[in-house]
Amino acid sequence: MNTQPRLKAKQQIAHYQIVSLLGAGGMGEVYLADDEKLGRRVALKFLPGDLSANDERVQRFAQEARAASALNHPNILTIYEIGEAEGRRFIATEFVNGTTLRDQIGLAPSIAEVLNIAEQIASALTAAHAAGIIHRDIKPENIMVRADGIVKILDFGLAKLALATDAGPDDATRQLVRTSAGVVMGTAAYMSPEQARGQTVDARSDIFSLGVVLYELISGRRAFEGETASDLLAAILKTEPAPVAQHVPDVPAELSRILTKALRKDREERYQTIKEMLLDIRALKRELEFQQNLERSVTPDARATATADKTTAEQAQKTVASGVNGQRSIRWQGLLALVVLILIAAAAGVWVYRHARENEVAIESIAVLPFANQTNDPNTEYLSDGLTESVINSLAQLPNLRVIPRDSVFRYKNKVGDSLAAGQELGVRAVLTGRVTQRGNDLIVSTELVDVRDNKQLWGEQYNRAITDALALQQEISREITEKLRLKLSGEQRKQLTAHDTTNSEAYQFYLKGRYYWNKRTAENIHKAIDQFQQAADKDPNYALAYVGLADANMFLEEYDGAGSDSHLRAIAFAQRALAIDPSVPEAHASLATAYTHAWQWEKAEAEYKRALELNPNYSLTHHWLNLHQRNLRRFDESLAESRRAHELDPLSPTLSASLAKILLVRGDLQAAMEQCLKTIELDPNSAAGHNHLGLVYLKLNRNAEALVELKKATELVPQPRWFSGLGYGYAVTGHRAEALALVAKFEARFNADGAMTGENIAAVYAGLGDKDRAFAWLEKDFKRHAGLLPRVRWEVAFETLRSDPRYANLLRGMHIEP
């Protein structure tokens, strides 16, 4: 009960001056006030004294109100402040100049108006539920409509404040129901069955309440009624509402279906998320708008065609009718009238079909360009990159959709330019762009999907989320894109969009950081990636992709940090752990296959590559890694085919372009290899692999001076052992013996100091110098520590002179390869 005196105009409360009383009810009084500190009009809601006195309930309310204040959604009332002054607890919110939905009930709004309101409410609830906030008191009084049609949901958190923690069904009824002369009023009419029973509620309770509100808005009647509180609750629990079409005959059948599903008493049969309901509302809204536009835009030619068909039919009717009598004439006239209707419908149908075909959007390929990091903070770069890569990987799971892989699209990172030009260059039908801004713990992501063919925006959305909701945000963007691409997915295919994701937001952020570091491809960053992936797995031990990340990072350790067998054995264990959690993850099979290749377990590797391609034949890295596996076995024709397929899937990837150049070099097609190297360098002038491979091609062509320039350029771009080894080999075979020996001395010192070097890199230089004994001695060191890269002796150019030596055949047998 509120025992506090009513406030008067111009009365001062903190830095607010009261203007007038806006309303009063069981949950307190609301005043219009001036915020003298910020110079704006606000609504001040003062809680009743009995609620204000209960510190535990107020604390719970304050926590939820603070969460609601962070939603920042255009259809949710903005909360400015929660405070206390002169013994009164109050909430300061934006002032909405409009009417509640209660005022619109009974005014018979059009279906278009109802859908517009429904869409805004559902959109607001989608944002709230994504943030873990349930309203619990959706009713017409808590929904305001401004004069411009903008809808605002009020009073998030107040329903929770009204309910005691141990409230039972009777308590809830008393607290949330006002009675007058035996007539039940207020909240109880909009309760969900589980709420009426006093059970714990979840987001599906809001869905039910929204269904009740929309039912009443359309029909002017409540879905559930009763003379007493007990009668009303009994109706909510046991009685099915009359079909809304019974009250409004012309209501669309789809809208009736949406309401019926929202009002299922068993919450398992209801919409499981408000997002699902929102998508259905939007689809119906678009369909009705299309029909309306179609009716408005029927051309004179279409009308003329229908009129001409009608005239022809009428003439035929007269001709036939003149030769018949009485009953037969009437029958024929009826038949011909039917023919007339069919002809008219056919003419209109042809026009509609043509019109629809001309405007139909059928997207079969997409490029997700790197999201721009508008925060300009390097520490948040992982978010923009990670969201981009996650959306790419999610969409890549879908059938019949070609998604440009990461390496090709990241060529456009930090390049200010025309997204349409990028789409045309990538050869896709649609381009998705995005901008990411982080403000404290808030994440703002703006996205736009554009049809490259006609520069038409297919979809655009802005998301305001807590940074902890990055995972849900990525999933939401992926789902909404599939809707706009007109992809018809089965339930199982929809699940693929999120099948391998975690539900732990912290784990997801660690995973994003891990991929961010892994993609940098340096020893230091590979170690950072391992640390991030491990933290992701610690946060969610059942997060399969975290273990895939650990497998991939450990596999790269040997190449970038000189690690031996331990690293690929760990990679095998991590990949197997990922598959134990979810055997349907194609990336896990590809990672396990590559780890098996490094472990010289060829048959197992073959089986895993096959399974990876069965699950996702469009994963370019699977084709790339398989091509390397096939090179190790000297199956060069197959290797070339797989390398070309990888390059086709990711045409702007410098890594895959350089790999294609390398297999062409290995096969002896020097002209094609040189051309591919030049294309690689054109794609990325900083491609160390492109310059290194071009240097090796020039060596084969006896263009030694040019070769050394290119080999040295590779080491300048990326100072890694692999490229220094190529330069040392180049020095050796071109007669620069002193330079070659100087490099190899540094390699040996590093190997002995910290092991951050493979024996293969040192052996390559000795092979170029013609010192086979030292070359085999260093290869033997790699063999003893089971180095995963050792099988490259079968195809790397530097080892050609060793392959006739008996020690080479023995080395292969030790790796379970027939010479």
Active-site positions read 137
Closest of 521, 804, 529 to residue 688, by C-alpha: 521
Which residues, in sequence order, are bridge partners of residue 161? Answer: none
The tokens for 508 are 């997801």
Q: Which of 487, 438, 437 is nearest to 459 (CA)?
A: 487
Cβ count within 10 A of residue 285: 18
- State CA 36 to chain mean position distance: 43
CA–CA dist 656, 678 (Å, integer): 13
Instruction: Give dist(CA 484, CA 557) in Å, integer.
Output: 41
CB 475 within 8 A of CB 520: no
Q: Quick one: 355 exposed, middle or buried, by C-beta within 10 A (0-12, 13-18, 19+)? A: middle
Question: Which residue(s) pair with 367 in the sheet?
Answer: 431
Nearest-angstrom CA–CA distance, 31 and 46: 8
Cα–Cα distance measured from residue 68 to residue 88, given in angstroms and rounded to the nearest whole number = 21
Dist. CA 746–CA 762, nearest whole Å: 10
Whether the Cβ atoms of residue 472 and residue 496 lie closer than 8 Å to each other: no
Label residues 397-416 b or e (16+ Cβ within 10 Å = b): bbeebbbbbbbbbbbbeeee
For residues 553 and 372, give the distance between their C-alpha atoms in angstroms, rounded to a whole number.
26
**Neighbouring residues of 192: CB distance < 8 A, sequence distance ≥ 6:** 201, 204, 205, 208, 209, 236, 267
Spatial distance between the Cα atoms of 405 and 391, rounded to a whole number of angstroms: 11
Q: How far apart are CA 525 and CA 516, in angstroms?
A: 9
Interatomic CA distance for residues 180 and 94, integer angstroms? 32
Helix (H) or strand (E) holding 130: helix 111-130
Residue owning tokens 């070609």: 402
Measured in degrees and rounded to the nearest 5, phi and psi for residue 436 equal -120, 125
Q: How far apart are CA 264 and CA 192, in angstroms?
A: 9
In this structure, what are the phi and psi dihedrals at residue 198, rounded to the nearest 5 degrees?
Answer: 80, 20
